[in-house]
A = this chain, B = another copy of it.
């Protein structure tokens, strides 16, 4: 089997998951180098997964002639610099969502990528989840007739640290969470034309310190006249609850929340079952599938399902929705 040497930039929580997948579950990947701004993190990741080389910062990794591709799981504020550097050095790039924290950066990335002519694939693992993909197939196959209304719901099981939540680094709740629902909405329904978002601090009063929200609901209208709703929450305390539903003229398809085990406990307290705890349990296979797909596209020179333009278009909706939230008005996505 042909293997590619890949380098991974960013070895935080998600980066460590990626390292594990690249080392153990993606047959075409040879994890040849890792990099992190914190030397100890890069080093310990390399040791844990038997990675031959590790670097501090992305530049030396991007310079590494032995690498066939670069995978970016660094914090979002650094995406632009890393991706642009990799592209200028001719490296094919896979970049985790969101592409960047603002549209100016996203558009700058695009112009450099186009100039450099390198391969780029945007990361949105939900499209590679067995469930979300099966729903897409049903919609495409006409099983629900013509799609009319989209409902997406993303609930995290607990509040991240306030440091993480600060909009300077996370981009705010919509960019951090709803970007996934927006990507799925675009995939299932078409382009989004306008959006109205309202939010609040309803579960964790301390979030006020960093100026973010813990719950947001929004209404979408699509360019084709279809309708949508998205709600996101930091207080899905019962588990990691990710749902999507499309109601069409001939039926509906739901991608419901996933149980962690098929165990049901029946006692005087009622009937009880569990919910998958968080994204590593929920989407591990999707991340692996996505990495397999990335390497396959690279090896066989195929266009990725999720392009840079998808990354920018989703970001544009998220930025517009964030602005709607702040200004309490209906906004047109095209104005951003």
Query: With A227-B198, A271-B238 given, is the CB distance from A266 to B251 under 8 Å?
Result: yes
Which of A58-66, A93-101, A212-220, A293-301 contacts the other chain?
Answer: A212-220
Which of A30-38, A113-121, A138-146, A171-179 contacts the other chain?
Answer: A138-146
| B218:A219 contact, CB within 8 angstroms | yes
Q: Mark A1-30, 1 if CB is under 8 A from B, else 0.
A: 100000000000000000000001101000
Bin the interface of chain A by size: 35 or more
Rounded to whole angstroms, the CA-CA distance of A260 and B134 in the bound complex is 10
Rounded to whole angstroms, the CA-CA distance of A322 and B167 in the bound complex is 35
Closest chain B CB from A92 CB (angstroms): 23
| A238:B218 contact, CB within 8 angstroms | no
| A155:B231 contact, CB within 8 angstroms | no
Query: With A138-B265, A148-B203, A198-B219 given, is the CB distance from A247 to B233 under 8 Å?
Result: yes
Query: With A270-B272, A270-B274 given, is the CB distance from A251 to B231 under 8 Å?
Result: no
Closest chain B CB from A317 CB (angstroms): 16
Closest chain B CB from A264 CB (angstroms): 4
Question: Hey, which chain B residues are within 8 Å of A161, CB to CB?
Answer: none
Q: Does A267 belong to the interface (CB within 8 Å)?
A: yes
| A202:B227 contact, CB within 8 angstroms | yes
| B217:A267 contact, CB within 8 angstroms | no
Q: Does A130 belong to the interface (CB within 8 Å)?
A: yes
| B215:A196 contact, CB within 8 angstroms | no
| Residue of A135, A253, A264, A329 with highest tally of chain B CB at under 10 A | A264
Q: Does A39 belong to the interface (CB within 8 Å)?
A: no
Q: Name A250's contact: one of B151, B267, B270, B274 (CB within 8 Å).
A: B267
| A249:B131 contact, CB within 8 angstroms | no
Closest chain B CB from A228 CB (angstroms): 7
Closest chain B CB from A202 CB (angstroms): 4
Q: Does A75 belong to the interface (CB within 8 Å)?
A: no
Rounded to whole angstroms, the CA-CA distance of A250 and B228 in the bound complex is 27
Q: Which residue of chain B lies nearest to A20 when distances are taken between CB atoms in the complex?
A: B27
| A235:B221 contact, CB within 8 angstroms | no
CB under 8 Å from chain B, chain A span 177-205? 196, 198-200, 202-204
Rounded to whole angstroms, the CA-CA distance of A264 and B217 in the bound complex is 22
- Interface pairs A-B: 9 shortest CB-CB: A251-B267, A203-B249, A148-B202, A238-B266, A131-B261, A254-B264, A252-B266, A134-B263, A134-B261
Q: Can you spell out 28 A-B residue pairs with CB atoms less than 8 angstroms apart?
A: A24-B25, A134-B263, A143-B267, A145-B203, A146-B202, A148-B200, A200-B226, A202-B225, A202-B227, A202-B249, A215-B247, A217-B228, A219-B219, A227-B231, A236-B252, A237-B249, A237-B267, A237-B268, A238-B267, A239-B266, A241-B266, A251-B268, A252-B265, A255-B262, A259-B271, A270-B272, A329-B330, A330-B330
